[in-house]
């Protein structure tokens, strides 16, 4: 509103009283009406969108990707901060692979790599460390070509082995190790997209998607903390609910009797029933379809084993997608008429652009 009055004041300063026969008061009323109308339309064009979904479903990655595609580019300072995050990701993920090797008794191809492994584990144990020596990068270079390490890296790429840590991004990072460890090189957009950072508080991204100015939000913190903030979003135009489709065969780490996709469905139900979102559009994004596709077509992990009611062909991707979409739609039907459903690979620009182009919010 303040903005409206400031603009009104300016327009009065520039107005010429000789060209208009209306009284000063009526002119002023008309101007106020016009500006209020314009202001209301601007507000209408702006979409406020809340991202929600279970942990690891891709919220932060999609938010970052939308900024890269439609928002303000990352600055040099931001990239410098991301660089340290990426290096820390690389080392802690490598440590997870080494732990997996120990658990599964996978041997190093070259015994001398044990010292390098120890150096990485020692670095990862020191939470505060912001200094990475050349020796640590050298360790990664040697481990990267060790067949034992490579095999563990492959096996942990998507918790196929039910190991709780996915190392898909580590694969990408260590393939780009020379560039990422060079002191003056700043990370690219793709590097930032693949980085992982624990979120505290609220992240806001402002961007223009098509004709619309959008304000996108992700809430960090524990579930309890998020509940305290959720009422701030009662006026949001849309809720983007993300569910990782590749998790159909995985369990929650905190309760191994609960399937992760079933947990997503439970959370989705609470979102569709929430009074705060009664007037918001709900858009369901099934993420990680790239991994889902690989998993289902491999034939190694049949959906029917985890969802016995699935009676379509085991490797029919379209039928499998529809099966899960129907589960979510059924839940949504209880409280609302329709939801939009999209299947995306959040890491692919084409996939994200396609979903945004057909989005109706």
Ligand X SMILES: Nc1nc2c(ncn2[C@@H]2O[C@H](COP(=O)(O)OP(=O)(O)OP(=O)(O)O)[C@@H](O)[C@H]2O)c(=O)[nH]1
50, 60, 153, 192: which one binds Mg ion (CB under 5 A): 60
Nearest to 50 by CA among 224, 268, 207, 203: 203
Considering the complex, what minimum distance in angstroms separates the CB of residue 358 from ligand X? Answer: 17
Residue 94 interacts, among Mg ion, ligand X, none and using kind-specific CB cut-offs from 5 to 8 Å, with none
Q: Is 168 in the site for ligand X (CB under 6 A)?
A: yes
**Token digits for 276?**
């705060």
Residue 342 interacts, among ligand X, Mg ion, none and using kind-specific CB cut-offs from 5 to 8 Å, with none
85, 99, 196, 340: which one binds ligand X (CB under 6 A): 196
Around Cβ 99, how many Cβ atoms within 10 Å?
A: 16
Q: Is 280 in the site for ligand X (CB under 6 A)?
A: no
Residue 321 interacts, among Mg ion, ligand X, none and using kind-specific CB cut-offs from 5 to 8 Å, with none
**Cβ contacts of 233 within 8 Å, gap of 6 or more:** 48, 50, 217, 239, 276, 277
Q: Is 199 in the site for ligand X (CB under 6 A)?
A: yes
93, 95, 247, 290: which one binds ligand X (CB under 6 A): 290
Q: Which 8-state DSSP code applies to residue 109?
A: S
Q: Is 119 in the site for ligand X (CB under 6 A)?
A: no
- HSE toward the beta carbon, residue 91, CA cutoff 13 A: 28
Q: Is 190 in the site for ligand X (CB under 6 A)?
A: no
Strand partners, 50: 217, 239
Tell me the residue nearest to ligand X as measured from the CB.
Answer: 58
Q: Is 195 in the site for Mg ion (CB under 5 A)?
A: no
Q: Which 8-state DSSP code applies to residue 105?
A: T
H/E element holding 213?
A: strand 212-219
Q: Is 63 in the site for Mg ion (CB under 5 A)?
A: no
Burial class (CB in 10 A: 0-12, 13-18, 19+), 75: exposed
Q: Contact letters (x/-) for ligand X, 36-65, by CB under 6 A?
A: -----------------x-xxxxxxx----
Q: Which residues bind Mg ion (CB under 5 A)?
A: 59-60, 199
């Amino acid at each position: 509103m303040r903005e409206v009055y400031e603009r009104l004041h300016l327009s009065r300063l520039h107005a010429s009283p000789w060209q208009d026969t209306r009284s000063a008061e009526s002119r002023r009323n008309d101007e106020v009406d016009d500006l209020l109308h314009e202001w209301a339309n601007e507000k209408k064009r702006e979409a406020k969108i809340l991202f929600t979904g279970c942990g690891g479903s891709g919220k932060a990655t999609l938010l970052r990707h939308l900024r890269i595609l439609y928002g303000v580019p990352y600055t040099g300072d931001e990239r410098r901060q991301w660089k340290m995050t990426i290096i820390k990701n690389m080392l802690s993920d490598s440590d997870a692979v080494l732990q997996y090797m120990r658990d599964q008794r996978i041997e190093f191809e070259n015994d001398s790599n044990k010292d390098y492994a120890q150096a990485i584990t020692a670095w990862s144990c020191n939470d505060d460390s912001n200094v990475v020596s050349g020796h640590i990068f050298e360790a990664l270079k040697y481990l990267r070509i060790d067949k034992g390490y490579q095999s563990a890296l492959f096996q942990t790429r998507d918790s196929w082995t039910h190991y709780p840590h996915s190392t898909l991004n580590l694969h990408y990072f260590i393939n780009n190790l020379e560039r990422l460890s060079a002191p003056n090189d700043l990370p690219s957009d793709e590097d930032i997209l693949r980085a992982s950072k624990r979120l505290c508080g609220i992240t806001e991204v402002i961007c223009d998607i098509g004709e619309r100015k959008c304000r996108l939000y992700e809430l960090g913190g524990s579930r309890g903390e998020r509940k305290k903030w959720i009422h701030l979003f009662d006026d949001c135009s849309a809720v983007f609910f993300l569910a990782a489709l590749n998790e159909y065969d995985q369990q929650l780490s905190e309760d191994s009797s609960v399937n992760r996709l079933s947990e997503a469905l439970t959370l989705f139900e609470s979102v569709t029933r929430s009074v705060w979102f009664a007037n918001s559009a709900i858009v369901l994004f099934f993420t990680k379809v790239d991994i889902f596709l690989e998993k289902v077509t491999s034939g190694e992990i049949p959906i029917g084993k985890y969802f016995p009611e699935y009676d379509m062909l085991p490797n029919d991707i379209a039928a499998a997608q529809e099966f899960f979409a129907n589960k979510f739609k059924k839940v949504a039907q209880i409280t609302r008429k329709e939801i939009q459903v999209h299947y995306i690979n959040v890491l692919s620009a084409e996939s994200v652009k396609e979903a945004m182009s057909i989005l109706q919010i």
